[in-house]
Chain A
Amino acid sequence: MRYLPLLWAGLFRKKTRTILTLLSVIVAFLLLGLLHAVKVAFESGAESADAKRLLTTARYSIIEPLPIAHLRPIERVAGVVGVAYADWFGAKYQNESNAFPVFAVDPTRYLDMYPEFTIPREQREAFVKTRTGAVAGRRLVDRFGWTLGQKLPISSEIHPKADGDMNWAFDLVGILDADDPAQRGNTDVVLINVAYFDEARQTGKGKTGWYIERIADPARARAISVEIDRLFVNSPDETKTQPEKEFAVGFAKQIGDMGALVTRILAAVFFTILILTGNAMAQSVRERIPELAILKTLGFSDGKVTALVLAEAGLLLLIGGGLGMVIAAGLLPVLNGATGGRFPPLFVSADTWLLATAVAVTLALAVGLPPALRARRLRIVDALAGR
C-alpha cells in the first residue's frame, strides 16, 4: 500500500493516454464477461448432464416425433432401469417475448428421472393426479409472480387444441426448484401433464418428442444406446440414442460451436489489447527513464524498480479488468430480461471470474515485463546523463 501513490502517479502521469488505454481494457473484459457467459450458458446443459441418462430422438431430426409405443420395448432393454418421455409444446406467455420451454410429460416418470429437481411431496402428488396440472420452475414463478392454484394461460406455437384454438390453460399445482445453484439455472421450465395434453391436442396423438432412459451402469451407455436403436431399425420411426451429455453438446452445436467462436473472438480482442496496452506501457516507461533513474539514485533497488513497473501494469489491468467484469455482471440480468427467457440464463460464473483473473495476470506480465526489465537494466549514470 505504501507504494500505491507512487504507482497511481506513474499510471496517470499522462491522463488522456491512460484513460484511453483503460477504456480499451474495460471494453475487452466487458466482452470477455458477456461472451463467456453465453458460452457457459450454451454448455450448461452438458455440464448438468447425468452420465446415467441416455436420450433417444428420431434418427434423422430431433423435431420428428416418436411413437409412444416405443416406451415398452425400450423399458425391456437390459440395463435400462427407468424411462421417461417428453414433448415440446412451443409456448408463449402473454406476448411474443415471453417464451420458455414447456414439456408435456408423464409426471411420475419425468420427476423420477430428474431427482436434481426438488418439489414438495404434496405438489408432486397434485401434479400426478391433476390432468390439467402444471408445475413451473422457481425462476419462472419468481419472474412472472405466479402463485400456486392459479390458471396458467399459455399459447402454443405448434399444437392446436381439438377445436383449433392455440390457447391453452393449465392449473399451477407445483413449483420445481433445485438445491444446487447451478441446477437452479435450469428451472426456467414448465411441465404439463401429458395425459390431458395428448387427449386435447388436435394432431400428433400417441406421439412424443423424445425418450430419456436411466441406466444402471454408465460404462455400458454406448452398448445400451446401440441396443435401443437396434429395436427400431428399418421401422418408420428409427431412433438415435446417445448419452445425455453428448446430446446436449450436439444440440448446442446445432446453433454453432459457441466455445470455439467465443475463444476466437476473445483471442482477437485480447491480442489487440496486448498490442495497445503494451505500446502504452513501453511508451510510458520510455518517457520516465530519468525518473526511474532518480528512484534508483535514492536507493530503490533494481528489483524494486522492476516490481514497481510490473505493479503499474498490474494496476492498469486490475482497474480495467475489474470494471469491465463488474459492468458485464450488471448488464447480464438486463440482457436476460430482454431475451424473454428464450436463452438459458446468462450470468458471470465463478469460472468466468477465474478466467478473467488469469487473462489479466497474463496480460499484466506480457505488457509489464519488457519495460520492467528495461527499467531493471537501467544504469543510473547513463540515464541521468541522457545516454
Chain B
Amino acid sequence: MSTLVEIRGVTKTYRRGSERIEVLHGIDLDVPHGDFVALMGPSGSGKTTLLNLIGGLDKPTAGSIVVDGHRIDHLSSGELSRWRAANIGFVFQFYNLLPALSAQRNVELPLLLTSLSAAQRRRNAAIALALVGLEDRARHKPRELSGGQEQRVAIARAMVSDPTLLVCDEPTGDLDRETGAEILTLLQVLNREHGKTVVMVTHDPKAAEYARRRLHLDKGTLAPDREMGGP
C-alpha cells in the first residue's frame, strides 16, 4: 500500500509562561492508504497533539508532514483550511455538532464550502446519513438524539465530503461500551468497505482492537508498531 501520511522528525513545543514544553520528540511515522491506526498512550503523552498535526489543525515546531503528497506543515492558515475541507474528516469525543442545526444541516456544513447546489448538498447529506443508519433522524436536533446517534451524525459529517483521511479523537470516550462498539464497527466498515484511512486516538485497549495497527506514544515518543487482527 502506498503511504498516505508521512511524518519525519516532527517535534512540537508549547510555551507555558517562560517555560518551553516539548510534547513530541522527533516523531517518524508512515500511515499507508487504507490503514486503520489506533494511537494509544497515557494522558499527556502527545496523542491529540500528533492527531491535530496530522489533521492540519496545528503546525509542528520542526520536522515535516506530508499527506497524500502535500507538504502540509508549510501551508498558510487559509491554504490549510481549504486542504482540511477537501481531505480530512474529523470525529471528536464530544461529537461537536452545532446544537441549533438539525442532523441534516450539520452534515451539510462541510458542503457549504463546495460549489454544490442546495439540492445536491441535501442529497449528499441524506446519503451520508443513510450510510450511518440515521436517514430517519435527519430533521432532529442534536439534543433530540442519543449520544451514539450524535456520534453517527458526526461521522456522517466527516464522511460527506468524501475525505481521504478520517481523524478520530477518542470517538467512543463519551459512550457506553455497547454504543461505543457500534461506532467502532462503523469506523471499521468505513475503513474496510469504503477504503477510508482512519487514524484514531483512544485510551481504551478494547477500542484499539478494532484498528489494524496500534501505536503507543509515551512522553512524546512513538513505540514500535503492533499489528492487530481485529475483533
A337 to B100, CA, bound (A): 46
Interface size for A (C-beta < 8 A) is 25
A303 to B99, CA, bound (A): 23
Question: Does B90 contact A2, Cβ atoms closer than 8 Å?
Answer: no
* A298 CB–B CB distance under 8 Å: yes
Question: Does A2 contact B81, Cβ atoms closer than 8 Å?
Answer: no
* A380 CB–B CB distance under 8 Å: yes
- Given the contacts A5-B101, A9-B98, A295-B109, A384 and B81 also touching, CB distance less than 8 Å: no
Among residues of B, the one whose C-beta sits closest to the C-beta of A293 is B96
- Given the contacts A9-B98, A290-B96, A299 and B113 also touching, CB distance less than 8 Å: yes
Partner of A301, one of B77, B99, B112: B77
Chain A: minimal CB distance from B30 (Å): 24
A296 to B98, CA, bound (A): 13
Question: Does A6 contact B82, Cβ atoms closer than 8 Å?
Answer: no
Chain A: minimal CB distance from B15 (Å): 12
Chain A: minimal CB distance from B174 (Å): 14
A294 to B109, CA, bound (A): 10
Chain B: minimal CB distance from A160 (Å): 72
Contacts of A385 in B (CB 8 A): 48
- Given the contacts A9-B105, A380-B57, A381-B57, A2 and B112 also touching, CB distance less than 8 Å: yes
Question: Does B96 contact A294, Cβ atoms closer than 8 Å?
Answer: yes
Question: Does B92 contact A9, Cβ atoms closer than 8 Å?
Answer: no
Chain B: minimal CB distance from A25 (Å): 20
A54 to B105, CA, bound (A): 68
A4 to B110, CA, bound (A): 15
* B130 CB–A CB distance under 8 Å: no
Chain A: minimal CB distance from B68 (Å): 16
Question: Does A12 contact B100, Cβ atoms closer than 8 Å?
Answer: yes
Chain A: minimal CB distance from B155 (Å): 14
Contacts of B28 in A (CB 8 A): none
Partner of B77, one of A302, A381, A384: A302
Partner of B82, one of A3, A9, A12, A299: A299
Chain A: minimal CB distance from B33 (Å): 22
Question: Does A10 contact B100, Cβ atoms closer than 8 Å?
Answer: yes
* B185 CB–A CB distance under 8 Å: no
* B162 CB–A CB distance under 8 Å: no
- Given the contacts A2-B118, A5-B101, A301 and B96 also touching, CB distance less than 8 Å: no
A338 to B113, CA, bound (A): 54
Considering only residues 116-163 of chain B, those with a C-beta below 8 Å from chain A are 118, 157
Contacts of A9 in B (CB 8 A): 98, 100-101, 105
Q: Which of B57, B81, B82 has the most CB of A within 10 A?
A: B81
Would you mind naming 18 contact pairs between A and B with Cβ atoms under 8 Å apart?
A3-B112, A9-B100, A9-B101, A10-B100, A294-B96, A298-B109, A298-B110, A298-B113, A298-B157, A299-B85, A301-B77, A301-B82, A302-B77, A302-B78, A302-B81, A304-B113, A380-B57, A385-B48
List 19 additional A-B contacts (Cβ < 8 Å) besides A2-B118, A6-B105, A298-B85.
Answer: A2-B112, A6-B109, A9-B101, A9-B105, A13-B99, A13-B100, A291-B99, A295-B109, A297-B84, A297-B96, A298-B90, A299-B84, A299-B113, A302-B78, A304-B113, A381-B58, A384-B92, A384-B96, A385-B48
Interfacial residues, chain B to chain A (CB-CB below 8 A): 48, 52, 55, 57-58, 77-78, 81-82, 84-86, 90, 92, 96, 98-101, 105, 109-110, 112-113, 118, 157
